Structure 1
Amino acid sequence: MKPESGLRRACFGALLAFAPLLASAAQTDRVVVDAAFDAVVQRYRLPGLALGIVEDGQVVYTRTTGERIAGSGEAIDRQTLFKVASNTKSMTTATLARLVDAGKLRWDDPVTKWLPQFRMNDAWVGREMQVRDLLIHNSGLRAGAGDLMLWPEPNTFTRTDIIHGLAYLKPQRSFRSGYDYDNLLYIVAGEVAAAAGGAPYESLVRREVFVPLGMSRCQVGQWNRAQVGNVAQPHMRQGERNVPVRSDGDIVPATTMDPAGGVRCSLDDMLHWVTAWLKPSPATVQWLSKEQREAVWAPQMQMPLSKRMREWDNSHFSAYGYGWRLADVDGAFKVAHTGTLMGMYSAVTMLPDKGVGFVILINGEGEDARTVLSQVLVKHYTRPAARLDAAHYASELAREDAARPAAQKAPDTSARRKATAKEFASRFGVYRDPWFGEARLCADGNVVRFRSIKSPVLTGVVQKVGAGWLVDWDDASVDAEAWLDFAPQADGTQLRMSKVDPQADFSYDYEDLAFQRVGECARP
């Protein structure tokens, strides 16, 4: 997709400029919001939830419940830190926008101006890719391509590895021809910001976003958990219990994925963030120019308009800006993003025409809870007379799931058994993928183990299922099993992998792996 025309930018800019004049006298009905809050906590058995609403520049509603760590007695409050995950992306784009305002960077700069080593699989794409292209999911790569270099954590992939690995990820469509969500190019964007801003990404986002906007509790990079204090931990469901998973140590390290999803903030921090976009205070009005505010919220890449959006929201357009999703809902402009990491869910939603924004932070398995609560709140402002409650949207999600074709559902793999070393022996070996590195398929006693060298959490036992093989990961938090396919390919590939559950998170991008056998298993 080519950069939008000056006329389109001007028209959209005029819409944004006019939006405050359209703002209604929106008022939060606390009874409605409390009912939705209570319903999602109860229905989805969340370990913790924080919710805040801003109207006309004022925080009009906050509520928190639950515990930072289930069973600890440590209550969540407005200062508790949560992983905001991909809501980090808009902070990364704001950092870049500040550099554009300062004359240190241009959106249409070639990426190679700042990172000469940058390459894509198609050399022409690597040369032509601009800074703006890093932000709008138009690379042509499969959704989530290369994400196994980021997740699951911990792993030993570096940002240098990611920039190197991009050259080996094969596109599924042509450059700028369509939308496919990516994370790796936000890592590249963070490195571009560092090169243009003269400081590491983590220092830049503190300097350009956290400090000027008063987001004093936000953390990125390495920090001391005990000194900072009041930190929520992620949870997963095990039976009837919420169990902490991938909990922090005493020192929270900087991570490779920080520019794409590594920020943690409190509810109060995130309400400062929302207010800075909807109604800047005298202290923050100069933080970002009108031109860059409009650029960040301008539609840069068309997104698919889903059946759900048409039916639930009467939406007519869907697009991605710089780190924000843009759409219309019941005739109102919506700017939003979600964030998802294992055991943590966030949502930031703004209705600029209404002068309203809200923040949702969850420290458990909360995908459906986030969807339901977000929808109830949006409708509270766009269609208040409809009185669409949490039960309504929960039933809609259940209906969607029931209607999903069998091909989109996980197959029954219950008739499985552990593969024996004897029957698997001809497939033993050390395998290498050009971007993921080495994995070993070797005997461990009388079972077979898959071990990734650079991503040690991806270790599991090979299972026999009918005529097929799959890996059952040791760590229960790795919730996407993988098929193993040893059919030789013309390109020399000797092992392919794919998700057992087609609906598993796209960041388990097993399909992008192309292993070749490069060695023997070590002798016992």
Structure 2
Amino acid sequence: MGQRRGGLGWGAFLLAFLLLLVTLGATAQTLKSANPTYDKIVDAVIARYHLPGIAVGVIENGQVVYVRTAGETVAGSGQKITPQTLFKIASNSKAMTTALLGRLVDQGKLHWDDPVTKYLPQFRMHDPWVTANMRVADLLTHSSGLPEGGGDLMLWPEPNAFTRADIIHGLAFIKPGYSFRSQYQYDNLLYVVAGEVAAAAGGAPYETLMRREVFEPLGLSRCQVGAWNRDAVGNVAQPHRQDNGHNVAIDEDAALIPAISSAPAGGIRCDLDDMLSWARNWLVPTPAQLAWLSPAQRQILQAPHMLIPVSAQRRAWDHSHVMAYGYGWRMTDVDGAWNVWHTGTLNGMYSMLSLLPDRRSGFVFMINGEADSARTVLGEVLTKHFTAPSDTHDVNWYADALDRAAKQHAATSSMPDTSKQHPATPSDLATWTGIYRDPWFGEISLCPSNNKVRFAAKKSPKLAGTVMRLGTRHLVHWDDSGDLDAWLDFHAAHDSQPITLRMAKIDPKGDFSSDYEDLDFQRVGGCH
């Protein structure tokens, strides 16, 4: 028999505790289907875009009021998405990286205005003046001068052999696309550098610091970074693409998931429960969370630091007047309400975290399929639920508007007709075959194989494909259809200079992370 405390016996206490757990469990189950408004929105998006899987959570006035999951971790597997299913949160990782930096500032180990070279003496940008004047804060605002997506080929496709040291070394060879601090152009490499700054200031690898300084204090028990075991952790969503109307899993994880260089920019995985905890930490921080990260640092992270042009669509849909980037967060006014948010995009994985701080409300969702338009539509309709509740535009209205815009784009696109491309022969390319080198991307080979010519990147094994001929031009058609095909433009040797190769996206408006235009290859040898 247990001792009595406050008149409640141990047996009675245990029974009361179990009843409380049952009640909480029933409440959680009810929350998943208690709001027909949210169910209608999510169901419509799933149906419109045939999503393989999704996890959605909504916060109203600081409380989680809606949790919804649907679909499977792998299409056809029968393994259901749950609130504990891990998704790649992609660029939503950036806010976790900046929170880590904010922790180090609170601890006196780092200052936002410190020069990057204080922590990384080997750091170099293309312009020596920019190198000397680049502050830690400048790594975070997408205003460094790097062209949009500059150097992303060192991050993706994964897996590849580019280390963080390779990335820091390669920055010196990427030519700027605009002047330092003059405009916003999204980049990922400098968030990798920021992760290395954190490691230098914090005295431990980025992954160790992220677990110790962010995941553990906030109780984000399922979030993963670095190397981990898929089966030991369990319940991991895999990315998908659509093939003839069917969702097909792509780039599936091996049993041992390796650490990746891109982690500070976009390599963290979390489940819905942890993402909702992460969101509530910003909307309604507890005293312990305010001790974890001070109000001063919270304000700095989510304050406007670099203006972003407001698109015509955003002006029309949201009546937005200003848009800006903080440290790992975007922000804008939506129907007069202040919105702090970010998205995440990786091949076959999409996410969005959106906060309305003045209302202590927001939402998060993660999708394991091709979902660019689905994310836009779901994010818009959920936002309007808070900022313009009388708005009558539904999921299909926004989806139809995006479809019309896509058709207009296609009608004016300079994308060429590639239906008549055919493999180039080794004799056709005899003048140009060989080993080429770019100062930041490294070596590639353009060499004969089975009466074709193959493109292969030494440090990025998934960036491989067959050289094709289209009219008088050549292009590379990648083995992985998720990568954007690229023109190959050869230039003959002259004045003792070697043969050179420049590349460009077939679709000039394609994903900026396929930054072929920043490559400048010179032939350094023949095929072996």
User: Under TM normalisation by the shorter chain, which class is it?
Assistant: over 0.9
Deviation at 1:407, TM superposition (A): 5.3
Code of the residue aligned with 1:246 in structure 2: it is D
* Alpha-carbon distance in structure 2 between the residues aligned to 1:382 and 1:133: 32
Percent identical residues: 59
For 1:98 and 1:75, the matched residues in 2 are separated by 36
Aligned to 1:110: 115
- The one-letter amino acid of 1:481's match is D
Shift of 1:409: 4.9
Secondary structure of residue in 1 paired with 2:238: coil
Q: Partner letter of residue 76 of structure 2? A: G
Cα distance, 1:409–1:278 mapped onto 2, change above 3 Å: farther
Match in the other structure for 1:511: 517
Out of 417, 425, 433, which is 2:430 matched to?
Answer: 425
The alignment partner of 2:453 has SS state of strand
1:417/1:465 contact within 8 Å kept:
yes
Q: Which residue of 1 aligns with 2:488?
A: 484
CA deviation profile, 1:319-347 (whole Å, cap 9, x unmatched): 00000001000000000000001110000
Q: Does 1:71 align with 2:71?
A: no
- 1:501 matches 2:507: yes
Alignment of 1:67-466 (within 5 A): 67-404=72-409, 406=411, 408-466=413-471
Structure 1 vs Structure 2 CA RMSD: 1.5
Is the partner of 1:404 in helix, strand or coil? helix
8 Å CA contact retained: 1:379, 1:388:
no
Letter in 1 for 2:507: D
TM-superposed CA distance for 1:476, in Å, is 2.6
Contact 1:165–1:434 at 8 Å: present in 2 too? Answer: yes
Contact 2:446 2:454 in 1 (8 A): yes
- Mapped to 2, the partners of 1:146 and 1:447 lie a distance apart of 29
Give the letter aligned to residue 264 of structure 2: P
User: 1:39 Cα shift?
Assistant: 1.0
The structural deviation recorded for 1:277 is 0.1
C-alpha contact (below 8 Å) 1:245/1:477 kept by paired residues: no
CA distance in 1, matches of 2:294, 2:75: 43
CA distance in 1, matches of 2:285, 2:340: 16
Q: How far apart are residue 60 of structure 1 and its match?
A: 0.3
Deviation at 1:503, TM superposition (A): 2.6
Aligned residue pairs: how many?
494
Deviations 1:404-430 (A, max 9, x none): 275545221101111111111111111
Supply the AA of the counterpart residue of 1:78.
P
Question: In 2, Cα distance between the equivalents of 1:385 and 1:186?
Answer: 40
Deviation at 1:487, TM superposition (A): 2.9
My pick for the range that moved more, 111-120 or 378-387, is 378-387
Separation in 1 of the partners of 2:164 and 2:77? 36
Q: Distance in 1 between matches of 2:389 and 2:34?
A: 10
Amino acid at match of 1:65: A
* Cα displacement (A) at 1:76: 0.3
* Runs of 5+ consecutive residues of structure 1 not aligned to the other structure: 1-27
Give the deviation of 1:286 after TM superposition.
1.6
Q: 2 CA distance for matches of 1:331 and 1:476? A: 42
The aligned amino acid for 1:420 is: T
Give the greater-gyration-radius structure (CA). Answer: 2
